[in-house]
Chains A and B, each alone.
Chain A
Amino acid sequence: AQKVTQAQTEISVVEKEDVTLDCVYETRDTTYYLFWYKQPPSGELVFLIRRNSFDEQNEISGRYSWNFQKSTSSFNFTITASQVVDSAVYFCALSEFMDSNYQLIWGAGTKLIIKP
């Protein structure tokens, strides 16, 4: 069963538009961690945010904001006033205890295209 679902395969918007990337996860754990990473065309995965399951406060960092809702098992990511440099593949990931280890379960990624 898929643990992390990023239903949007690709999103294309015009620069300066706001865009939200969805992430829905599935877990039986009460303690878990959620992450977002950005992978620009250069290929390097860049860490954006880490949240634990007990901290449901939304977070804002510049033009980026994250909405964590345990009730709907979602951890959505919004970019405000998008810029061309935001074009990348964005991955959501869940750290869960499985088979005697914590494992990072990755979504399939959402490709974001920002047009000038």
Chain B
Amino acid sequence: EAGVVQSPRYKIIEKKQPVAFWCNPISGHNTLYWYLQNLGQGPELLIRYENEEAVDDSQLPKDRFSAERLKGVDSTLKIQPAELGDSAVYLCASSGGTGIGTDTQYFGPGTRLTVL
């Protein structure tokens, strides 16, 4: 069974440019998560989807970040415009089960973003 797929793996952009990350969760997993991970730290949740509904986006900086999961399968996270401080690894995870947040999350390889 395929794991969580993310693309691109690496992205280098100039500040103020837009950037988008794509994630395809494990087949059948209804819950999808986007995390940000800074060097030397644990992941920080940005947004959680259950099917196509964003059930927790309290930590998403909505002035520049947006996300969508239109058909309840794959998802896109966008930053516009990017700032220097956005340089980090963006992780996508998915989980099956009841989706109440206690399920095991399976992670993709991440996208390493560098903003110059």
Contacts and interface: CB of A to CB of B under 8 A. Distances in A.
- Whether both chains belong to one complex is answered with yes
A46 B108 CA distance: 9
Contact of A42 (B40, B45, B48, B109): B109
Q: Interface range on chain B: under 10, 10 to 19, 20 to 34, or 35 or more?
A: 20 to 34
Contact of B55 (A33, A37, A43, A101): A101
Interface stretch (A61-69, A73-81, A102-110): A102-110
Q: Interface range on chain A: under 10, 10 to 19, 20 to 34, or 35 or more?
A: 20 to 34
A30 to B, nearest CB: 13
Contact of B104 (A44, A47, A108): A47
Which secondary structure characterizes the binding site on chain B?
loop
B100 interface: yes
A104 B108 CA distance: 17
A39 to B, nearest CB: 9
B112 A43 contact: yes
Interface of B: 40-45, 48, 55-56, 58, 89, 91, 93, 100-102, 104-110, 112
The 10 closest A-B pairs by CB, nearest first: A102-B101, A106-B42, A45-B107, A44-B109, A33-B102, A95-B102, A101-B56, A50-B104, A43-B110, A102-B102
